[in-house]
Amino acid sequence: MRRALELAQRGPAGDANPRVGCVLLDRHGDVLAEGWHRGAGTPHAEADALSRVPAGAAEGGTAVVTLEPCDHTGRTGPCSLALVEAGVRRVVFAQPDPNPLAAGGAGRLRAAGVEVRTGVLAEEAAALNERWAAALALGRPWVTAKWASSLDGRVAADDGSSRWITGPEARADVHRRRAEHGAILVGTGTALADDPALTARDGDALLPRQPRPVVVGLRDVPSGAALRRHPEPLLAVRSRDPRQALAAVEDAGATSAFLEGGPTLVSAFLAAGLVDEVLVYLGPTLLGGGRLATIDLGVRTIGDQRRLAVRDVVRLGDDLLVVARPAQEE
């Protein structure tokens, strides 16, 4: 199962489908083939593994999968049926499929006489697809809001300059986390003022997985903007409504969104209760002035404050990363 989890991590994060890995064993317990899901519309992990062996080779064998084999016919057929037809005798999976449209594979397998075991490394498997499963439950993409600020809560100097408040280790961490999301959002103000590329990079090299760039607001993005050269097509959402922005992200096939700013957009999502995780990178500096990380959150009295539960504090070079989530979710 650990190997299956490693394989699953090769799949795209933030995709419409979960990341799934499969190890296929023969009747003697030797590895026959490995497979993983590469994204919506491609073969599922079990089908990928089965496609790598001759017909009949899996008969009497075992499939070890990170997620319950699906029992749904969409762009691909049900994996539960494919395993039955391949003659697999035993299926071990880490966790049940939380998607009611795809669940039920375990029942089909048992009805066909296949031995089924579940719960192996279930916590690790759940963590792998946490945002995808949460998006199912929420009915919208998972939202991570990120900002970098001075210790006094400023995201820029009074003239608007902000490069760099944090150091290279913190910036590298941001790029890694960008790549874990299906979309990356900024407001038109940030797009026009900063001309960000919104790519996920390792130094000067693009990471293999890129979030789709999304600009939210009513103004146009110039044809020469850096966003226009992003590896993924730009999605322009002509609205200031966070819910409409998330609906467009979902329609584009992403189940998670990385909210980069600026303060107006981030605050709108926070005020609407649409942020599931907050990443605050704190640089050891003081800026003063009025360029705050957030603006109006609808807090009029201390009783309205939006409490967060700190999940982690990480030292990144000279900087600190605070990871927090809405306290009511704890």
* Residues that are catalytic: 46
- CA distances from residue 185 to 124, 303, 305 in whole angstroms, order as listed: 28, 30, 25
Token reading at 75: 């762009």
CB 48 within 8 A of CB 24: no
DSSP code of residue 220: P
Residue 170 vs residues 143, 144, 224, 322: alpha-carbon distances, Å: 20, 16, 28, 11
* Cross-strand partners of 189: none
- Distance, CA of 35 to CA of 45 (rounded, Å): 5
Euclidean distance between CA atoms 257 and 260, whole angstroms: 9
* Cα gap 198→259, rounded to integer Å: 11
Work out whether the CA dihedral 67, 98, 209, 38 comes out positive or negative. Answer: positive
User: 139 and 157 in contact (C-beta within 8 Å)?
Assistant: no
Q: Is residue 276 within 8 Å of 134, Cβ to Cβ?
A: yes
φ/ψ (deg, to 5) at 33: -165, 160
* Structure tokens given for 1: 């199962």
